[in-house]
Amino acid sequence: MPIVARAPVGLRYPALTHHHPRVLFFADCGARIGGGHVMRSLTLAEAAADLGAVCAFAAPPEAAAILAAFGSGRVEALPASATTANAAGLASQWRADWVVVDHYRLALADEGALRAPGRRIAVIDDLAERPRDCDLLLDPSYGRTANAYTGLIPPAAAVLTGPQYALVRPQFAAARPPALARRKDAPVRRALVSLGLTDVGGVTAQVVEALAPHLGEMLLDVAVGRSAPSLERLQALAAADRRIRLHVEVRDMAALMTAADMAVGAGGSSTWERCCLGLPTLTLVLADNQRPLAAAFDRDGISPAVDLGGLPGGWRGMAGDAALRLRLSQASAALCDGLGAGRVAEALVRA
């Protein structure tokens, strides 16, 4: 059955009338890794639940906290350690039809250990650099094609590649029309800094301190998780500067992005949220695996890539150039319509 893009009206997909597949998610998470893997896997789990699947996570404490904060309650968190053996045991006890793996630190044998008769493996990847044991592979990377995985996955595995499969929460697809409409002639009155829930290395406070002298009358929304290392510094900055508004554990990030005229963001999965809403963004690279996408976006005029030292200059350049912001908005919005999670969910539950 073909994978069909559906309009976000109602933000629901029709339920299945046959077997309801049981899908167990195993996503990497932690202070050094961040919460992006869990968030994008949760997006897929919610979309699969919309189609009638029964979904759960093998959830160490860090993942369970994210599920509690951002989940709808339809996706169960099964207490787990971070080990594959533990996840394999859970998959058997829970009678999983699929295990979805979003984890960079597993060996090929680890993925194989998750297999059992009647159980299939789906893998979320964006590196295309090592063998994966899977029946379905998802890589939403910009410019990626299935050929990148030739010889790395079983020949019969299905492959979904490109930003049309990016795992974006349905709130973003719903917010896309008004967000794109206001980009056409928007002066910079409000901006956003969002670098991930876990604020790896306390970088968010460093970014806000670097930008504060260049804000003028602009309002700056800053979004972090409650465990962010720089939370205390950010609270002090917001208390001292009326232009800085701190948002902790934001559930409606789509609303913040829609209200923003420009942003500083990390090169992880939130990239596709910003693209869906056409938000002109300076991409700050926080991890080595983010560099290829950031470099490609910079090269193709989608989002300038900067480091901390180059941030003030890049910020002033974008804030002062309305034509540049419009070009970046249009180029980024053309990549991702926000409906990818529904497409991937259909590939899982209709298989």
* Cβ count within 10 A of residue 184: 10
pTM: 0.86
* Cβ count within 10 A of residue 238: 17
Coil, helix or strand for 131? coil
Q: Which residue has the higher pLDDT, 198 or 95?
A: 95
What sign results for the dihedral spanned by CA atoms 10, 23, 45, 100?
A: negative
Q: How far apart are the first and last CA of the chain?
A: 8
Report angle CA 257, 252, 140 to the nearest 5 degrees: 65
**Lowest-pLDDT choice from 90-104, 224-238, 281-295, 300-314:** 281-295
Query: Above 90 in pLDDT, residue 22?
Result: yes
Beta strands across the sheet bearing 22-27: 76-79, 54-59, 22-27, 98-102, 120-124, 136-139, 158-161
Computed on alpha carbons and rounded to an integer, the radius of gyration of the chain in Å comes to 20
What mean pLDDT value characterizes the chain?
Answer: 89
Tokens of 332: 């980024």
**Lowest-pLDDT choice from 22-26, 149-153, 157-161, 287-291:** 287-291
What sign results for the dihedral spanned by CA atoms 207, 209, 214, 220?
A: positive
Q: What confidence tier does 2 reach under pLDDT thresholds 50, 70, 90? A: very low
Beta strands across the sheet bearing 244-248: 244-248, 219-224, 190-194, 262-266, 281-284, 305-306
Q: What does the chain come to in residues? A: 351
Q: What is the pLDDT of residue 33?
A: 66
Tokens of 14: 């029709």
Q: At what angle do helices 203-211 and 311-319 cross, to 10 degrees?
A: 50
Q: Which residue has the higher pLDDT, 85 or 8?
A: 85
Q: What confidence tier does 23 reach under pLDDT thresholds 50, 70, 90? A: very high
HSE at residue 341, side-chain half, CA atoms within 13 A, is 29
Average pLDDT over residues 82-109: 85
CA distance 116 to 95: 10
Using one digit for the tens of pLDDT, what is the confidence trace for 169-189? 999 999 999 999 998 877 899
Using one digit for the tens of pLDDT, what is the confidence trace for 197-217? 778 889 999 999 999 999 999
Instruction: Name, in order, each residue with C-beta under 8 angstroms of 269's C-beta and a sequence gap of 6 or more.
Output: 36, 37, 39, 40, 166, 167
Of 284, 285, 270, 282, which is closest to residue 315 (Cα–Cα)? 282
Query: Above 50 in pLDDT, residue 11?
Result: no
Q: What is the pLDDT of residue 79?
A: 87
The DSSP code for 14 is: P
Average pLDDT over residues 275-301: 91
Of 319, 325, 329, 322, which is closest to residue 213 (Cα–Cα)? 319
Coil, helix or strand for 341? helix
**Lowest-pLDDT choice from 4-13, 128-137, 309-318:** 4-13
Query: Above 80 in pLDDT, residue 229?
Result: yes
Domains, the chain? 9-168+339-349 (3.40.50.11190), 170-333 (3.40.50.2000)
Average pLDDT over residues 23-30: 88
Query: Above 70 in pLDDT, residue 345?
Result: yes
Query: Above 90 in pLDDT, residue 9?
Result: no
Using one digit for the tens of pLDDT, what is the confidence trace for 126-157? 889 999 999 999 999 999 999 999 999 999 99
- Let me know: does 324 contact 318? Beta carbons within 8 Å: yes
Q: What confidence tier does 85 reach under pLDDT thresholds 50, 70, 90? A: low
The DSSP code for 16 is: P
Q: What is the pLDDT of residue 83?
A: 60
Q: What confidence tier does 82 reach under pLDDT thresholds 50, 70, 90? A: low
Of 173, 147, 135, which is closest to residue 275 (Cα–Cα)? 173
Query: Above 60 in pLDDT, residue 248?
Result: yes
**Lowest-pLDDT choice from 84-88, 207-211, 344-348:** 84-88
- Let me know: does 324 contact 317? Beta carbons within 8 Å: yes
Q: What is the pLDDT of residue 291?
A: 85
- Let me know: does 41 contact 100? Beta carbons within 8 Å: yes
Q: What is the pLDDT of residue 10?
A: 34
Query: Above 50 in pLDDT, residue 340?
Result: yes
